[in-house]
Structure 1
């Protein structure tokens, strides 16, 4: 009981002190006024910062808008662009074992430099055999030529024999005529007349024989001339075989057709290669270009000769300038392995891309920094075409 009484008295004392002392309700207004003052100062201090941010945003927007109005609206861009080059694939034209390799990957070579050499032993023997056959045939042609000369001499001899036989025939004819006159006057015997007649007939036969010999000699010359022509044609075939053997021998040395850099080498000493086997790739860095794939909706403002700004991902600080060289005759999808077939029941229109070739500034090409396959960003300045169209309209 005593504990409860003490508790009740303590509770009353506490209630009295709360009402008579410094009540909480009287202190709170002063504290609130002290808290709102810093908040107002803080809000006032933020206004210049907000104004500065708004002014900066407006200035940036005006700058970007001015840039778009003066330059941006004339630029046609694409990121679907890559550096390209006409890469030459070096292949073998004859079979054999690789005897030596004169280059390594990433090595620069000049046109005509030796790349590799195939064992040429068999090809040298084939060339020597063809040359020997040709020499033999040429000897046969020379022999036939000598025979033709001999045949022509026989023709001349036969012609001379004809002349002699004709002279004998004329003499025999005269003798026979005299014997006939004498026989009419009985101043000669019948035997003499018959001998004169036989001599005349023999002389006529000798003329015919000489004429036949002349014909045979001429025919023999014609036969020899035909044989010589045939032998010359065979010699021409053998000459072709020699030239082919020489070409096959030359193909054992694989040389660079153009200036470039060796890459993707796929041969070593001792490798057996077949005709058409890929040995290495030759990249002509002096003829690199950019192939940019623009959307079909961007083609209307693209013209040949427009200036192009090229940003190379590998060299972001490099200033590369190019020129629109040509536009592909069809979209890339048409030249694909499996071109799309749109004549179906279900169709979804997809924006196509058309390759545009861009030539690069020769000064940049000579530096050799552009490598086929590098990604670039292409910006075409279409103001050239716009100015030309405006000039053309003014002329009209």
Structure 2
């Protein structure tokens, strides 16, 4: 039995045909645009916004006294972020300062001692001249009595007295000479001791400087303008030297894009080559940039455990080459970009 076609059926059939034709036309247009872009551009959606994000770490150990920032807070270079209890380090600084003052006082005492020894050496040197003169006089007397004894013009007793006086004068001269040598040696010993104390002063000054640095390190400041990230600490917490306390982004350097292109796409890439960028967070907006540099190695080579293809378990996988891109137009939006945002990058084929 034949069913009669109603006007409604004709309308539905016509509408279906029109929709199918429009869908086919849209699909053909999309395919044409896609193929055209594929032939004219190298594209990747494996791209992210990057910026310098560094940890803020403690340089000394201690208990946290104050935390002066909140997560995601903008900060300026030099702003205080964390204050560590510094009483232990202040006590060590005071002790080091006292030890330095004691060493300097020892230097003053030693200088006074050196001056005294130099005076004693000068006095002994002047006594040497007098003793030498007496010795020379007694030598002359001995010669005279020796000649007189040979001429039988004096008695042996007088000659013996002259000889004894000569021996006493020689002994006194040697004693004074050795005393002078001892005084000079004491001056030299004191000078060596002064050098040693000078070195000790430098050592104690270095110790004091180190303690002063430690006191300064108890106040942790922002190294540059930026925004702090997650906070991993609480007041009263014991932290160790080198422990990361938070992370800070660097607003003093511009953000950039790292696009990971396939190794089969980068053959014609050159620094300075223009690129087009779209950010998923800002749909409909296109940014312009240029290639800054290409990585000297594939991304897998920078991984913690780079693959070793010589093991025999080899499966060929197309590698990715990180390409660094600088944004040249649309820089007003840079402040709104966040590290890690996804991006799409297109590079026109040459």
Q: Name the TM tier (shorter chain).
A: 0.7 to 0.9
Give me the whole-angstrom Cα distance separating, in 2, the residues matched to 1:142 and 1:261.
53
Given that 1:306 and 1:382 are in contact with CA atoms closer than 8 Å, whether structure 2 keeps it comes out as no
Cα distance, 1:357 vs structure 2: 1.3
Q: Which moved more, 1:344-353 or 1:207-216?
A: 344-353
- Calculate the TM-score normalised by the size of structure 1: 0.76
Calculate the aligned-residue CA RMSD, in Å.
3.2
User: Among 233, 236, 241, which residue is 1:270 paired with?
Assistant: 236
User: Among 313, 317, 326, which residue is 1:359 paired with?
Assistant: 326
**1:224 lines up with 2:190 in the alignment:** yes
Q: How does 1:1-396 map to 2 (within 5 A)?
A: 64=33, 68=36, 73-287=39-253, 288-343=255-310, 347-361=314-328, 364=331, 367-383=334-350
Secondary structure, counterpart of 1:280 in structure 2? strand
Cα distance, 1:187 vs structure 2: 3.6
Cα distance, 1:348 vs structure 2: 3.2
Cα distance, 1:190 vs structure 2: 2.8
Give me the whole-angstrom Cα distance separating, in 2, the residues matched to 1:369 and 1:80.
20
Cα distance, 1:366 vs structure 2: 8.0
Cα distance, 1:346 vs structure 2: 5.5
Cα distance, 1:139 vs structure 2: 1.0
Given that 1:295 and 1:353 are in contact with CA atoms closer than 8 Å, whether structure 2 keeps it comes out as yes
Secondary structure, counterpart of 1:303 in structure 2? coil
- Calculate the TM-score normalised by the size of structure 2: 0.85
Give me the whole-angstrom Cα distance separating, in 2, the residues matched to 1:213 and 1:262.
75
Higher relative contact order by CA 8 Å / sep ≥ 6: 1 or 2? 2
Secondary structure, counterpart of 1:132 in structure 2? helix
Give me the whole-angstrom Cα distance separating, in 1, the residues matched to 2:96 and 2:301.
51
Given that 2:75 and 2:225 are in contact with CA atoms closer than 8 Å, whether structure 1 keeps it comes out as yes
Give me the whole-angstrom Cα distance separating, in 2, the residues matched to 1:62 and 1:258.
49
Cα distance, 1:302 vs structure 2: 0.9
**Bigger strand share:** 2
Cα distance, 1:188 vs structure 2: 3.1
- Unmatched 5+ stretches in structure 1: 1-31, 384-396
Cα distance, 1:61 vs structure 2: 8.5
Structure with higher Rg: it is 1
Given that 2:256 and 2:324 are in contact with CA atoms closer than 8 Å, whether structure 1 keeps it comes out as yes
Count of residues paired in the alignment: 338
Given that 1:100 and 1:118 are in contact with CA atoms closer than 8 Å, whether structure 2 keeps it comes out as yes
Given that 1:307 and 1:321 are in contact with CA atoms closer than 8 Å, whether structure 2 keeps it comes out as yes
**Bigger helix share:** 1
Cα distance, 1:182 vs structure 2: 3.1
Given that 2:224 and 2:252 are in contact with CA atoms closer than 8 Å, whether structure 1 keeps it comes out as no
Question: Structure 1 pair 262/181, CA: closer, same or farther in 2 (3 Å)?
Answer: same
Cα distance, 1:124 vs structure 2: 0.6
1:185-218 alpha-carbon deviations (Å, 9 max, x no partner): 4443332222222222221222211221121112
Secondary structure, counterpart of 1:235 in structure 2? helix
Question: Structure 1 pair 131/104, CA: closer, same or farther in 2 (3 Å)?
Answer: same
Give me the whole-angstrom Cα distance separating, in 1, the residues matched to 2:195 and 2:114.
12
